[in-house]
Amino acid sequence: MRSDNVTKGAERAPNRSLFYALGYTREELERPLIGVVCSQNEIVPGHMDLDKIAQAVKAGIRAAGGTPVEFPAIAVCDGIAMGHVGMKYSLVTRELIADSTEAMAMAHQFDGLVMIPNCDKNVPGLLMAAARLNIPTIFCSGGPMMAGTMRDGRRTCLSHMFEAVGAYKAGKLSGTELEEYEENACPTCGSCSGMYTANSMNCLTEGIGMALRGNGTIPAVYSARLRLAKHTGMQIMELVKKNIRPRDIMTEAAFHNAEALDMALGCSTNSMLHLPAIAHECGIELSFDMANAISSKTPNLCHLAPAGDTYIEDLDRVGGVYAVMKELTRKGLLDTSLMTCTGKTVAENLEGVENLDPAIIRPIDDPYSPYGGIAVLKGSLAPEGCVVKQAAVDPAMMVHTGPARVFDCEEDAISAIYEGKIVAGDVVVIRYEGPKGGPGMREMLNPTSAICGMGLGESVALITDGRFSGATRGASIGHVSPEAALGGPIAFVEEGDVIAIDIPNHTIELKVDQATLAARKAKWVCPEPRIKTGYLARYAKQVTSAAKGAVLE
């Protein structure tokens, strides 16, 4: 066992003495040592309960003959970080999480790992670490939050909360009504209740084969989540025994399965950052262009919030991720021969699975749309591409042409929106918010929610080299690459320039002739970095394009 490096032989007596200082017995050191990576903290609602998940995981490990050893991973609450400098520190934690987990696992020579994440960057960060370390690993997330309930019985969620601010600013909601949303949008622990980034990545972890059934959908408050955690603890011992490793599971075909599931579920656009980054750690390059190829043949089967009025708890009730995967197999859209963390193939996992409600998971022959939930657009504004969650775009905005309203940071844009300076037909452009230019590639949930909350969701588009929360809906186009700080065309857009968006045809064009653009480029000087010290300054020097997953070089 790997742990023999710290537990066996006379030369390891000093190492054992330190284990004894921790209270471990000689008998426990004879068993496989399983690292339990728990991201519990007291600032993220999706992580406040992970100590209970960890206890259940450790019970499962002990029941199956292993010795659990818990250590922490960090996590940021994107909602609390939203709309200020804190959001610059969200995406960048993905690499911190991967690096610190690698350091702990290598330093202490664990035989296997159980990852206990839940929210946005914690899940991909730990998947990256799993791929990099390539020792037997399995995931058990904390589970989704329940939807909230308003006094009149309507269900609500975090995306409604952000849009309510825009409605309040527009005079469409009173202060009392805003407070009602505030008090009811997030009623329990767990990752926010729609198909936002956290739940997207937890569902995709299940779909790619790194977690047991229900990982993406069993609500955080259900005791079934604790049973899942115990079974996960038991299953890591099987993976260690059979030496089934992450790269045996996360193959190129498995990533294509995950992309197909992504399209069917209508996941967050952040998956287009995280899947390539995880694949990169596996030695696999996922092309931006592959997304459209998979989307073109993969129907969108779910309209979970913010695209619709159903929630992750509803998806769980009708069969969960496996039921969606089962629908995809009816058209041969998944490779079902692949090994998973269950020790069985995808086909074996899906035996007997049924879709229990065709209103929540549309049958493959009656989808919401014949194409997937995400589209990659390319053109003169984004030569390397940009991303839109087309499943959450109003039909009236699938094709749109309008004048650019240009802002060099999120704060300036949100002020203009709240002051009523953005009108129907406009195309809001927010730049210098990319991975390098931000630095940190902030989410633009505040401006997109303001646009929708003020009643402009059917008439205004927003384009940025930053990114979006999974809670964003509307014609919100992010990850524009190359970003402005790298001299991408978005840096040369001027107020009033015409921008043409055609989502069905995957194009985005800046209607300015090449000579004019060349003249603007010749005069362009990249602004000074907003942050010049600390981790963000180091991150800005190493980070790559969003089109490559914003991985570090």
The residues annotated as belonging to the active site are 469
CB atoms within 10 A of CB 419: 9
Evaluate whether 353 touches 361 at the Cβ level (below 8 Å).
no
CB burial of residue 64 (10 Å; 0-12, 13-18, 19+): buried
Cβ-based neighbours of 20, under 8 Å, separated by 6 or more: none
How far apart CA 491 and CA 208 sit, in angstroms, is 37
* Eight-state DSSP code of residue 370: S
3-state secondary structure at position 401? strand
How far apart CA 386 and CA 551 sit, in angstroms, is 16
Angstrom CA distances, 98 to 45, 115, 366, 550, 551, stand at 21, 11, 40, 14, 11
3-state secondary structure at position 553? coil
Tokens of 477: 């186009």
Angstrom CA distances, 251 to 116, 238, 257, 278, 338, stand at 22, 20, 10, 11, 8
Evaluate whether 88 touches 440 at the Cβ level (below 8 Å).
yes
* Eight-state DSSP code of residue 426: -
Q: Please, what's the b/e burial string for 323-340 (b: 16 or more CB within 10 A of its CB; e: otherwise)?
A: bbbbbbbeeebbbbebbb
Q: Quote the radius of gyration of the chain (alpha carbons, Å).
A: 23
Residue 71, strand partner residues: 37
3-state secondary structure at position 240? helix
23 φ/ψ sector (left φ>0, alpha ψ -120 to 50, else beta)? left
Evaluate whether 187 touches 109 at the Cβ level (below 8 Å).
no
Evaluate whether 181 touches 147 at the Cβ level (below 8 Å).
no
